[in-house]
Structure 1
Amino acid sequence: MGELVGAIDCGTNSIKLLIGTPPAVVLRESRVVRLGQGVDTTGELSQEALARTFAAIDELGGMLRDLGVPPERTRFCATSATRDARNAAVFVEGVRARLGVTPQVLSGAEEAALVYAGAVGPLTPMPPEPVLVVDIGGGSTELVLGEDGPRESTSMDIGSVRLHERHLHSDPPTGAQVAACVADVERHLDDSGVDVASARTVIGTSGTIKTIACGVLGLAVYDRDAFDGAELSVADTLDFCDRLVAMRVEQRRALPYMHPGRADVVGAGALIWTRILARALGPTYRVSEADILHGIAASIGTSTGS
């Protein structure tokens, strides 16, 4: 095994760490920090969200040190919430002080390319192309359509946290709130420039899609080995998502595979996923555990995070 690298993805809802020698994974951890709470309304990262995130970074930094991963072999990527926040410099300085690494605030195009590389890189053999990779985050959703590499991509400013805060104010959401959320998603898909219907294979990654996969499979726990590589029915997924959106938050939290920090916003994520699947023509899709973290880890050595 070669030298270990550390990949960190800090999004709107969660911060994730992968340590390994790609494609091998030694450690993977995730913490729900809701960094982007309120950013869609205020345009700033709140002090409470920064405190939660810095506490998680302190914890993940300890894991990097324990496994001997130095700053020069660590890449820290920040995505939607940090792109959109006026006070992103406060976040950047806080990360640098804690880890000795300067976080890279990815553009939407950079994020999409890493999502595609992470999900498609481990596949042997390649599935039928074009391949559409979908990553539903807290603040944005990446669509990447590829054939021998990314061909069309977009980072849409719709994510589970952003749309939950924008539309789904009741528990459970009302029919009118759901309709407004769906209309918002449809507008972004119309303007995305990505031909979803042309995909011969759809691969879903990210915490939202993996959690939904656990529900479709009826798992008793959040089991990466059970959903990684699974081929699931679109019809079964649409049916499960309808039920998930209609649940109260306390009912979602009671699901054995549901992270409590995801329970309130997963309904908005489910609405995004259903509208994408409805535009795809195939009856099934694949779920991938490999995601943007794997893309970030594979890039270390070609991009520096120090």
Structure 2
Amino acid sequence: MIARPHEHGFRVMDGFTRIVRLGEGVSVTGRLSDAAMERTMDALRMCRNKLREHQPARMRLIATEACRIAENGPAFLDRVKQELGIDLEIVDRRTEAELAVTGCADLIENTAQGALMFDIGGGSSELAWLDFRGGRPKSQGRMSASIRSWQSLPVGVVSIAEKFGGIDVTPEVFEAMVSHVSEHLRQFRGREKLRQMIANHPVHLIGTSGTVTTLAGLHLGLERYERQKVDGLWMKRAEVDETMKVLLAMPFARRVAHPCIGRDRADLVLPGCAIFEAIRREWPAERVRVADRGLREGILISLMDADRVRNRASRYPSRRTANG
């Protein structure tokens, strides 16, 4: 995603998204496969061309779970740098969670005293509990300072699909997926206190992932995916229940043909729903807010926020600097 600063955030100039499944098979072999690396290289060539076209003044290019855990992850990034001139940074799980929070922060209403954000990825899923009862950061770029607890689950849509299958998912298989994820959620620090806070205070549940946006598209009955209708949408608990029920009953061929799912996501959407369902059962909330945004937006906001700080510092230098 390439953007320029705007009065109320940023304006997107260009963007590119492709599902490459870089982590396909990593949970079994511990290595990135040749096929997955080639798919990723093809997508990165498109990114390189856009970078050459726009010549951004500042950029941050990151790699996440697949490259974190794969034995040949660093070697693959060396190849990317040598062949494409793209220098990718492997970020740790905490940084990934913070960037997701930053990217979604302006979906949190002023009346909220807290939020639970979750980002369902391919190889991992990040959760962050934000608590504003002691005060709320004024800058969206500093919203991660309110994180009270966070967790990176070693489960994502690709790893769940590889473990349980994603094509023919029976209700029994779906429940097994949910139980598997729930075991990991029990390790979340402060999970009981978070449950109490959700029960007694206005707390937002915010989901950012293809899983949640797909559910929103299905709920709205969209004939084609429309980001402006999905991003920021509130879904009630009963609406999520009903949409998941419809999706679970949908044969694989219909998932492939559905305009809000498609072939790339058809075998991943139910594993993603299982992760979402485990989160909903652990921390029941009356509604969830859908975010079609996340890491990329978080990176842009962080870069622009840092630029504003630097610009203020250059405009108002410290007395020591001014006096030499």
**TM-score after normalising by structure 2:** 0.81
Pair 1:82 & 2:64 matched = no
Residue of structure 2 equivalent to 1:157 = 154
Equivalent position amino acid for 2:93 in 1: G
Note the alpha carbon deviations across 1:122-142, whole angstroms, 9 max, x for none: 347535121111111111111
Report the equivalent of 1:4. none
Select which of 179, 184, 209 maps to 2:180.
184
Q: Which residue of 2 aligns with 1:128?
A: 112
Map of 1:5 onto structure 2: none
After TM superposition, the structure 1 stretch with the greater mean CA deviation from structure 2, 249-258 or 133-142, is: 249-258
Structure 1 range deviating more: 157-166 or 204-213 = 204-213
1:146 correspondence with 2:149:
no
Asked whether the 8 Å contact 2:149–2:189 carries over to 1, the reply is yes
Distance 1:180 1:281 in 2: 19
**1:24, CA displacement in angstroms?**
2.3
Shift in Å, 1:229: 1.2
Letter in 2 for 1:51: E
Larger helix proportion, structure 1 or 2? 2
Q: In the alignment, does 2:117 pair up with 1:102?
A: no
Give the Cα separation in 1 of the matches to 2:268 and 2:31: 20
RMSD of equivalent CA atoms = 2.0
User: Using the alignment, how far apart are the partners of 2:64 and 2:77 within structure 1?
Assistant: 12
Runs of 4 or more off by more than 4 Å in structure 1? none
Amino acid at match of 1:80: E
Which of 279, 282, 285 in structure 2 is aligned with 1:282? 285
Range moving further from structure 2, 233-242 or 36-45 = 233-242
Give a deviation string over 1:50-76, Cα, whole Å, max 9, x none.
000001000111112112226xx2211
CA distance in 2, matches of 1:291, 1:168: 27
2:301 to 293, 298, 302: 298
The aligned amino acid for 1:26 is: M
- Verify: 1:166 aligned to 2:169, yes or no: no
Q: 1:127 to 1:59 in 2, by over 3 A?
A: farther
Larger strand proportion of the pair: 1
CA distance in 1, matches of 2:293, 2:10: 9
Q: Which residue of the partner structure matches residue 238 of structure 2?
A: 235
* 1:134 partner SS: strand
**Equivalent position SS for 1:239:** helix
Quote the Cα distance in structure 2 between the aligned partners of 1:123 and 1:261.
28
Larger radius of gyration: 2
Residue 52 of structure 2 aligns to a residue in which SS? helix
Determine if contact 2:107/2:232 at 8 Å carries over to the other structure.
no
Q: Give the Cα separation in 2 of the matches to 1:216 and 1:20.
A: 33
User: Which residue identity lines up with residue 160 of structure 1 in the other structure?
Assistant: V
Query: What is the CA-CA distance between 1:215 and the residue it aligns to?
Result: 0.9
Task: Give the equivalent residue in structure 2 for 1:6.
Answer: none
The two structures have a TM-score, normalised by structure 1, of 0.86
| CA–CA separation in structure 1 for the residues paired with 2:250 and 2:75 | 37
TM superposition shift of 1:193:
2.1
Give SS of 1:251's match. helix
Matched-pair contact (CA < 8 Å) for 2:2–2:56: no
Higher mean alpha-carbon deviation, 56-65 vs 90-99, is at: 90-99
Identity in percent: 31
Kindly indicate whether structure 1 or structure 2 has the higher relative contact order, using CA contacts under 8 Å at least 6 residues apart.
1
Q: Counterpart in 1 of 2:322?
A: none
Uncovered stretches (5+) of structure 2, i.e. residues with no partner: 137-145, 308-324
Query: Are the counterparts in 2 of residues 205 and 289 from structure 1 also a CA contact under 8 Å?
Result: yes
